[in-house]
A and B are shown apart, each in its own frame.
Chain A
Amino acid sequence: MPVKVIIPTPLRVYAGKRASAEFNAGTVGEALKHLTTEYADLRKHLFTEDGRLRSFVNVYVNDEDIRYLAKENTATKDGDTISIIPSIAGGCCPL
């Protein structure tokens, strides 16, 4: 069941300059795994070294934030679109 993953502009350079990619995946986690296996250089910008999604990286299935669904276990169906949206954060010094 192909799902489409939209690759955000800043990360396209790590994905052969593609704007999107399609994978057969039953969950969001599977789709992201396929994505970062095919484009290994993307991995560190989405996941921490221990394999968790970075806190500022938000993933949506169609228009829904997976945090409010089943996170990476969120089921996907044929034709779903997965978007990766950063939240922008920063600061000047340690708290």
Chain B
Amino acid sequence: MAGEKTLWISGQLAEKIRAHGAETYPHESCGALLGRDSEATDDNSAREVLALFPLVNRRDDSPRNRFSVTAEDVLDADRAAQKQGLEVIGWYHSHPDHPARPSQYDQDHAWPWYSYVIVSVQNGSPQEMTSWRLNDDRHAFSPEGIKIRHTATV
């Protein structure tokens, strides 16, 4: 039985995703998750976010409930990741005044494998943050646990 997948992230980066959602409220924020995913180890700690690449929401027409990132932005995110020896392992966006659950629209515009992190922002303040992976059949997302990596302080 395949267990629930896990996305590791530092407390600092998790806070940055939440802060970005608050900053763009009432509009949606979005960005790329850069990190590592080792398929070799089927250990649950295989996927970790190590940097963020915040993006500008290109949807001027309905920025409150849509976000859109162009292919050019995706290539920029890829290049930024490569420079740091990382890869794009997923994407984050905010849901202003809505729960941190993927919408049908999210599902129609997703690929499997990527982690999709959603942060709910209520009245300008970030609330629940969740992560999701699209199923192979494209019919639903499965939740992915977010675990905060507490790095040793010097």
- Which A residues are within 8 Å of any B CB, using their own CB? 8-11, 13, 41, 44-45, 55-56, 58, 60, 65, 85-95
Contacts and interface: CB of A to CB of B under 8 A. Distances in A.
A90 B111 contact: no
A32 to B, nearest CB: 16
Contacts of B70: 87
A88 B31 CA distance: 9
Given A86-B71, A92-B95, A9 B87 contact: yes
A87 to B, nearest CB: 5
Contacts of A55: 109
Contacts of A44: 137-138
Q: How big is chain B's contact interface, by range?
A: 35 or more
Contacts of B41: none
Interface in B84-138: 87-88, 91, 93, 95-96, 98, 102-106, 109-114, 116, 136-138
A85 B111 contact: no
What is the predominant secondary structure among interface residues of chain A facing chain B? mixed
Interface of B: 28, 30, 32, 62, 65-71, 73-75, 87-88, 91, 93, 95-96, 98, 102-106, 109-114, 116, 136-138
A89 B138 contact: no
Contact of A90 (B73, B88, B103): B103
Contacts of A10: 111-114
Contact of B65 (A45, A56, A65, A92): A92
A91 B66 CA distance: 4
Contacts of B136: 41
